[in-house]
């Protein structure tokens, strides 16, 4: 069955960077986009961007342009999301989600990133 | 890209039906029949409930249905059950290869 397993919680200082991983299994990794979605405590979902594991091509939401980088390692079926210049309002849960056509059919368990001095 | 507009909360009694609306613009909901709906229980990952406006993934109850009119999509849950109590989010493909979510709706089963 399709599984997306994310890396564990992180605590970072303001201005630092964080890199979250998402390991896929149960399907052909290069056959589906991988999206990143985040959720602040008690708030809604926010789409951050996506990567094509096949080509490595990316598309980012305008809000995160210049601060986010999405990459992948096809040899280990893993995608990564790195966010730079962290601020306190980046204290959220980050989810990866498999994109099947225009929707998200499988999700990772989420990774809490806490930004605190 | 602005978030899609959803009511903050809806409620209903067991057995009743409720509808959650999701209003966008002609650049997202109105342009494509590509709205999806997600159910999220507390501290859990979202779960796909409806895709491409009205299609249900395998395993999702037929009590869940979706529709669209103009710039507004809707999720209807019939025969409400206690386990339906959760947050519900709509999401639409927007132009230029981006996606936008709604702000979420908290469903309370009375």
Quote the pLDDT of residue A9: 98
Q: How confident is the model at residue A12 (pLDDT cuts 50, 70, 90)?
A: very high
Q: Would you state the structure tokens that stand for residue B60, as one six-digit string?
A: 């999702």
Q: With an 8 Å Cβ cutoff, are B45 and A109 in contact?
A: yes
Please give, rounded to a whole number of angstroms, the shortest distance from the CA of A53 to a CA of chain B. Answer: 16
At residue A74, what are phi and psi to the nearest 5 degrees? Answer: -65, -25
Please list every residue in chain A whose beta carbon sits closer than 8 Å to the beta carbon of residue B39: none
Quote the pLDDT of residue B2: 82
| Residues A95 and B45: beta-carbon distance below 8 Å | yes
Rounded CA separation B9/B25 (Å):
21
Quote the pLDDT of residue B95: 79
Closest chain B CA to residue A111:
B45
Q: With an 8 Å Cβ cutoff, are B98 and A47 in contact?
A: yes
Contact with chain A for residue B7, Cβ under 8 A: no
Quote the pLDDT of residue B38: 98
Look at residue B84 and give its three-state secondary structure: helix
Quote the pLDDT of residue B96: 84
Contact with chain B for residue A38, Cβ under 8 A: no
Q: With an 8 Å Cβ cutoff, are B46 and A107 in contact?
A: yes
Q: With an 8 Å Cβ cutoff, are B99 and A105 in contact?
A: no
Greatest CA separation found in chain A? 40
Q: Which regions in chain B score pLDDT beneath 50?
A: none
Please list every residue in chain A whose beta carbon sits closer than 8 Å to the beta carbon of residue B93: 102
The minimal CB distance from A105 to the residues B1, B57, B101 is found for B57
Relative to beta strand B9-12, strand B105-109 is: parallel
Average pLDDT over chain A, rounded to an integer: 97
CA atoms within 13 A on the CB side of A91: 12
Instruction: Give the residue carrying structure tokens 């390991």.
Output: A23
* Chain segment A58-84, per-residue pLDDT in tens: 999 999 999 999 999 999 999 999 999
Rounded CA separation A21/A81 (Å):
7
Please list every residue in chain A whose beta carbon sits closer than 8 Å to the beta carbon of residue B36: 102-104
Q: Is A114 exposed, middle or buried (0-12, 13-18, 19+ CB in 10 A)?
A: middle
Portion 50-89 of B in contact with A at CB < 8 A: 51-52, 57, 89
At residue A30, what are phi and psi to the nearest 5 degrees? Answer: -80, 0
CA-nearest of A98, A61, A83 to B45 is: A98
Rounded CA separation B59/B80 (Å):
17
């Amino acid at each position: 069955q399709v599984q997306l397993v994310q890396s564990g919680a992180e605590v970072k200082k303001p201005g630092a960077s964080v890199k979250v991983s998402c390991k896929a299994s149960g399907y052909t990794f290069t056959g589906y986009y991988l999206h990143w979605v985040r959720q602040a405590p008690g708030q809604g979902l926010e789409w951050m961007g996506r990567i094509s594991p096949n080509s490595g091509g990316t598309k980012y939401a305008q809000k995160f342009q210049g601060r986010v980088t999405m990459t992948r390692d096809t040899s280990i079926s893993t995608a990564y999301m790195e966010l730079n210049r962290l601020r306190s309002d980046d204290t959220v849960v980050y989810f990866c989600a498999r994109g099947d056509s225009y929707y998200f059919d499988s999700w990772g368990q989420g990774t809490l990133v806490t930004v605190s001095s | 890209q602005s978030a899609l507009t959803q009511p903050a909360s809806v409620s209903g009694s067991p057995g009743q039906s409720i509808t959650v609306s999701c209003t966008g613009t002609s650049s997202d909901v109105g342009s494509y029949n590509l709205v999806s709906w997600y159910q999220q229980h507390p501290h859990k990952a979202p779960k796909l409930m409806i895709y491409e406006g009205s299609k249900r993934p395998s395993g999702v109850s037929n009590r869940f249905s979706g529709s669209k009119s103009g710039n507004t999509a809707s999720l209807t849950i019939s025969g409400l059950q206690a386990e339906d109590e959760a947050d519900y989010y709509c999401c639409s493909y927007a132009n230029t290869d981006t996606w936008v979510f709604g702000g979420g709706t908290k469903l309370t089963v009375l």
